[in-house]
Amino acid sequence: MTSIYLIRHAEAEGNLYRIAQGQYDSILTDRGWRQVRALERRFADIHIDAVYSSDLYRTCATATAIYKPKNLPLHRVRELREICVGDWEQRTWGDIYRQAPEQMENFNLHPERWQVNGAETPRQVLDRAMAAIREIAGANDGKTVAVFSHGYAIRLVLAALQGYSVEQLAQTPVGDNTAVSLLETKGEKLRVVFRDDNSHLQTPEFLAGETVKKRANGLEPGLYFLPLRLPEQAEKMVELVSASWEDTRPFDRDRLLADAALRPTLMGYLDGEPVGLVQFGPESGCISLACIRPDCRRRGFGVQLIGQAVQHTRPRGGRILRITLAAEAKAQKFFRENGFAPMGTTADGREILEKNVGYDPEILGK
């Protein structure tokens, strides 16, 4: 008999920033790394003979919870990847809901009807993932292995093994990040012993580090972003920024608009109404301005501004996000909770906060 622990990756950027990550190489969040440590504690006394992972960064990073402490090699298997979502890749769920509500409903409730240009079908994902798991089982007869994959792919596999068709996928549960399922195989028969267990995330040790009590579901719509249009949106920008102004420096309307004319600026929309804004400075990774309308705060929208900063910075070769804030600004707490750390002060006494968003070459396998 072969035992296979099938494990979903830890929380990654797409989960937090409400972006369709599909087969994009997103990195783990700070919370995701705490989940990795919890997973390591869970498996500390469980014997594992081999570790396999999809070749995407977020699964390889999560697999460090087992293969590193147990001094095992990591086997990267492309067929264990998440579903490719084609033209949806790297778009916010808010934008997808706005542009393709019918296909979004199909993705959630009727996967057999879902069609997006350049995407795989759920059946294709199931076939390749199931074949990979059966091949791993055959190569490890009588052993215990850990296999790291992705939420949608794992859900398809578990549903099939429990007798659900692709058309019935919506009737099955969705496992949390780092949820653990156990499969057993004897000969050609593969069965589910248990699925989607997240007990390692319910321990006092893990819960003590939870600074955000409720996370938005990655598929909740959230915001969509469009470039700021000047001059027609000048007054809307002034209204939005002035309502959120926390700087010790006086609010300067003319300076604000002059900077907006020169710097890339994205407006975040909710139900067609601008409710947030993020602007990028001339230096790589610099967030020169970020705000969410006061009545829209504490709803998981602010973190999407960080997601847009990542998407602006990383393709340009940047590894560090940076923002400067007044020491007494309320936004200090928000940015620190989301992985920004103090790195000094400016000449006028403002604090410099930075966040690393680069890839680890070791996890990349390079």
pLDDT digits (tens, 9 = 90+) for 200-233: 999 999 998 887 655 666 566 789 999 999 999 9
- Residue 58 CB partners (closer than 8 Å, separation 6+): 9, 10, 12, 21, 25, 26, 27, 28, 32
Residue 209, pLDDT score: 81
Tokens at 246, concatenated:
């926390």
User: Mind listing the pLDDT tens digit for each residue in 133-146?
Assistant: 999 999 999 999 99
Q: What is the pLDDT of residue 42?
A: 97
* Chain region(s) in the chain for CATH 3.40.50.1240: 2-207
d(CA 366, CA 361) in angstroms, rounded, equals 5
Rounded-to-integer distance, Cα 342 and Cα 332, Å: 10
Q: DSSP letters of 238-302?
A: HHHHHHH---SSPP-HHHHHHHHHHS-EEEEEETTEEEEEEEE-SSTTBEEEEEE-GGG-SSS-H
Phi-psi bin for 145: left (phi > 0), alpha (psi -120 to 50), beta? beta
pLDDT lower than 70: segments of the chain: 212-220, 366
- Whether domain 2-207 has CATH 3.40.50.1240: the reply is yes
Angle at 223 between CA 116 and CA 225, to 5 degrees: 80
- What order do you get walking across the sheet with 224-227 strand by strand? 224-227, 265-270, 273-280, 287-292
Pick the CATH number of 224-364 from 3.30.2020.30, 2.40.50.100, 3.40.630.30, 1.20.1600.10: 3.40.630.30
Residues of the chain with CATH 3.40.630.30: 224-364
Measured between alpha carbons, how far is 39 from 272 in angstroms, rounded to an integer?
Answer: 41
Cβ neighbours, 10 Å, residue 342: 14
pLDDT score at 71: 97
pLDDT at 151: 96
Residue 149 sits at φ, ψ, to 5 deg, of -140, -150
- Identify the pLDDT of residue 327: 85
- The pLDDT value recorded for residue 348 is 86
* Angle between helix 253-262 and helix 234-244 axes, rounded to 10 deg: 120
pLDDT of residue 73: 97
- Pairing relation of β-strands 265-270 and 74-76? unpaired
pLDDT of residue 108: 92
